[in-house]
């Protein structure tokens, strides 16, 4: 479970000395997990409302996922993509069946790589299907954060809002890349505006690409948030919850012949281990969705959020989000930081998003008991502010 030869102080010292300082580490050591619960070596229990930033979509220590991974590590972990990878083919088939889009898929390892592939598709489309080279891509400034800005920065234009997209479109534009659930002011884009944009881009032969790396794989209640918006994008990217903790990402494209062998590739993308894990995750979540459990749990979780919002108007302004991708607006950044610290003291893990959001991304199969216990701790944390 954990290395008994080292104390946490030793490990923190090693981390400080040998690991680049890109993260502000908390002095905590988790040794195992069970569902939405995490335990330290001394059995101190935390409730996890973050699930590794929405990555552990079927919770910690999931038996079905564990068995699939263990069995696959015994047989084959990795081979070159020049050979047939059984579970890659089966996973691609399953994703297409679940989303219902007529597309083909490229597998990679992360959100960044999935979006990089989308940009490659857009640029190749701009050269292949037009008389003049079209290589400009428009993104919504508020939709892309983290490390997106430096991806192929040349000829990527930022629109401040969805209306400004139309002002930036010209003869050289090949694609518009948006994130539906992280839009202007963090509120997500309006359904009618997105449908209007989709129609206009179709008329102009410009690709609509949607980043579903956070919102996909049932996180918003449907397999894709795009389904909720009533649109069919040309390109979709997914990652976070797909592998249940095993790194894997995918780029879906309705331009099925955009690549030929040798045009693009990934060394680790879609290997035996990651695709077997992802297929297991989708089988688990497909069953949960089919039984109505994801919808039920989402409603239960959001009811608690509404109660917190009403009980602490001095701390929170409003609730936003879809499904189990939700957040509370706090009054200011100082309150945000105090809530995060107070929740940690109450043994609850929640997430910081920007300067004024407390984000909640629990496992999609979190139990009602875990939700109830987690919100008891959250209310105690808020009462201390």
What is the tens place of the pLDDT at every residue in 232-243? Answer: 999 999 999 999
Q: What is the C-alpha separation between 58 and 297, in angstroms, rounded?
A: 13
Residue 205 pLDDT more than 60?
yes
By mean pLDDT, which of 39-48, 105-114, 129-138 is the weakest? 129-138
* Confidence at 202, pLDDT banded by 50, 70, 90: very high
What was the pLDDT predicted at 127?
86
Q: Which contiguous run of DSSP H or E holds residue 105?
A: strand 104-108
Same domain for 96 and 117, yes or no, is: yes
Same domain for 256 and 342, yes or no, is: no
Same domain for 146 and 246, yes or no, is: yes
* Confidence at 355, pLDDT banded by 50, 70, 90: confident
165: Cβ contacts below 8 Å, ≥ 6 apart: 138, 140, 159, 176, 197
- Residue 185 is given by DSSP the state G
Mean pLDDT of the chain: 92
Q: What is the C-alpha separation between 82 and 113, in angstroms, rounded?
A: 19
pTM to 2 decimals?
0.93
Residue 188 pLDDT more than 80?
no
Q: For residue range 96-117, what is the model confidence (pLDDT) as tens digits?
A: 999 999 999 999 999 999 999 9
Same domain for 131 and 205, yes or no, is: yes
Number of domains present in the structure of the chain: 2
| Number of residues assigned to the chain | 385
Q: Among residues of the chain, what percentage have pLDDT more than 70?
A: 93
Nearest in space to 236 (alpha carbons), one of 260, 261, 217: 217
Q: For residue range 250-273, what is the model confidence (pLDDT) as tens digits?
A: 999 999 999 999 999 999 999 999
Alpha carbon 321 to its chain's center: 13
Assess if residue 10 is contained within a domain.
Answer: no
Q: Given the DSSP bridges, would you call strands 207-211 and 173-178 parallel, antiparallel or unpaired?
A: parallel
Question: Which tokens go with 253?
Answer: 């494209």
Assess if residue 349 is contained within a domain.
Answer: yes
Residue 55 pLDDT more than 50?
yes
Same domain for 267 and 356, yes or no, is: no
159: Cβ contacts below 8 Å, ≥ 6 apart: 138, 139, 140, 141, 165, 167, 168
Same domain for 69 and 124, yes or no, is: yes
Please give the residue range of the domain that contains residue 160: 65-290
Q: Given the DSSP bridges, would you call strands 316-322 and 325-330 parallel, antiparallel or unpaired?
A: antiparallel
Same domain for 161 and 306, yes or no, is: no
Q: CA-CA distances (angstroms) from residue 33 to 5, 36, 172, 247, 274?
A: 21, 7, 50, 18, 20
Which residue has 């069970």 as its token pair? Answer: 34
Q: Given the DSSP bridges, would you call strands 136-140 and 173-178 parallel, antiparallel or unpaired?
A: parallel
Residue 311 pLDDT more than 90?
yes
Assess if residue 194 is contained within a domain.
Answer: yes
* Confidence at 349, pLDDT banded by 50, 70, 90: very high
Same domain for 301 and 269, yes or no, is: no
What end-to-end distance do the CA atoms of the chain give, in Å?
35
Q: For residue range 65-104, what is the model confidence (pLDDT) as tens digits?
A: 999 999 999 999 999 999 999 999 999 999 999 999 999 9
């Amino acid at each position: 479970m954990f290395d008994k030869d080292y104390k946490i102080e030793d490990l923190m010292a090693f981390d400080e000395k040998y690991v680049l300082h890109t993260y502000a580490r908390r002095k905590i050591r988790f040794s195992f997990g069970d569902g939405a619960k995490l335990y330290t070596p001394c059995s101190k229990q935390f409730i996890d409302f973050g699930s590794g930033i929405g990555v552990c979509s079927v919770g910690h220590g999931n038996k079905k996922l564990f068995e699939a991974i263990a069995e696959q590590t015994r047989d084959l972990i990795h081979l070159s993509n020049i050979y047939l990878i059984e579970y890659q083919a089966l996973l691609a088939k399953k994703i297409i069946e679940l989303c219902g889009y007529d597309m083909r898929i490229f597998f990679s390892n992360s959100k960044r790589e999935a979006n990089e592939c989308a940009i490659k598709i857009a640029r190749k489309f701009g050269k292949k299907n037009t008389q003049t080279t079209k290589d400009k891509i428009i993104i919504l400034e508020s939709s892309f954060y983290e490390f997106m800005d430096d991806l192929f920065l040349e000829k990527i234009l930022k629109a401040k809002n969805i209306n400004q997209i139309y002002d930036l479109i010209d003869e050289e534009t090949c694609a518009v890349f948006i994130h539906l659930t992280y839009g202007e002011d963090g509120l997500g884009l309006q359904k009618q505006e997105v449908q209007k944009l989709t129609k206009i881009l179709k008329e102009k032969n410009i690709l609509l690409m949607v980043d579903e790396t956070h919102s996909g794989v049932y996180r918003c209640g449907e397999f894709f948030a795009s389904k909720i918006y009533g649109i069919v994008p040309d390109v979709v990217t997914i990652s976070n919850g797909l592998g249940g903790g095993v790194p894997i990402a995918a780029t879906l494209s309705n331009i099925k012949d955009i690549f030929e062998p040798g045009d693009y590739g990934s060394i680790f993308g879609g290997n035996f281990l990651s695709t077997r894990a992802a297929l297991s995750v989708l089988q688990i979540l497909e069953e949960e969705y089919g039984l109505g459990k994801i919808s039920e749990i989402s409603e239960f979780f959001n009811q608690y959020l509404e109660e917190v919002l009403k009980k602490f108007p001095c701390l929170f302004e409003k609730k936003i989000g879809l499904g189990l991708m939700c957040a509370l607006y706090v009054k200011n950044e100082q309150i945000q930081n105090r809530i995060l610290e107070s929740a940690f003291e109450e043994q609850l893990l929640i997430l910081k998003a920007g300067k004024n959001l407390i984000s909640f991304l629990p496992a999609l199969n979190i139990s009602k008991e875990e939700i109830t216990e987690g919100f008891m701790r959250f209310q105690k944390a808020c009462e201390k502010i």
